[in-house]
Structure 1
């Protein structure tokens, strides 16, 4: 009989337990270093990363304040089926993105007044009632202004006075 049969145990084969410990140890080290670095950065110990060159240029270009162009008073009669006429008086300002666009918008003001007056004359008084009517009027005027004054882009219509009688 051989010596292995008498009760001697055969040596155990490694199943990769040493490799698993090394991977876990490396992962723990990465997490510890990453967490420490993040804590130091959030704590102000590490400097803030510098932005890429040219990254600040678009932000500075959009920092210019908007320009408001006054629309002359518009008085128009609304579309009614009744004998009694209903009038609207409208004073507004158009918001554009810069002085160059404001000058171009001012040059096309006669066309804008014509389009706004024509639109108002076809509007019924019921369509202008309430905040939903005012919002709809603002959206319609902004869309018409963008078409009439292209390539100028009107970003908003601000009502200074809106009276129906």
Structure 2
């Protein structure tokens, strides 16, 4: 008991901390979260709501298509050389051109076929079999066609068939 008597009597019990600030913070967080959700969902922050987009699309007429035409490139079948074991490549494409130049590009089709045929014969089978090669081959062929037809006539080359037999 002497030990209890020796303990300082002036130490008062600490009062309990109030939970009021925690509750206020929680209520404010819920209100701000709900307000942010509503502002985003209703389109106040990042554009109109999805329902508003569908109504706007109905009211607004579709943009007219660009003034383009497609010129078919005759199918090209190329033997890939002795290293390929007499394998063949069948290639078909369409050229995207301005309508004003469609007749001129059609007139130059024999030259276009010659350029494509020459290029496709020169590439290696390993290059064709690479999955990432299509974009590179397409860009190379488009550039060669643009040189033959003249600048500004052919916009794009669309590969419609590319089969390795």
TM tier, shorter chain? Answer: 0.5 to 0.7
Deviation at 1:153, TM superposition (A): 2.7
Once the two structures are superposed, the pairs formed by residues 32-47 of structure 1 within 5 Å of their partners are: none
Match of 1:67 in 2: 69
CA distance in 2 between partners of 1:91 and 1:154 (Å): 16
Kept in 1: contact 2:92–2:162 (CA 8 A)? yes
1:143 equivalent in alignment to 2:143: yes
Deviation at 1:99, TM superposition (A): 1.8
TM-score normalized by structure 1?
0.57
Determine which structure has the larger helix proportion and give its number. Answer: 2
Unaligned runs of 5+ in 2: 1-62
Unaligned runs of 5+ in 1: 1-59
CA distance in 1 between partners of 2:103 and 2:152 (Å): 10
Deviation at 1:154, TM superposition (A): 1.6
Secondary structure at the residue paired with 2:86?
coil
CA distance in 2 between partners of 1:92 and 1:119 (Å): 14
1:117 equivalent in alignment to 2:122: no
Q: Describe the superposition over 1:40-80 as per-residue Cα deviations: whole angstroms up to 9, x where unpaired.
A: xxxxxxxxxxxxxxxxxxxx9x9633211100000001245
Secondary structure at the residue paired with 1:64?
coil
Once the two structures are superposed, the pairs formed by residues 47-126 of structure 1 within 5 Å of their partners are: 64-82=66-84, 84-96=85-97, 98-126=98-126
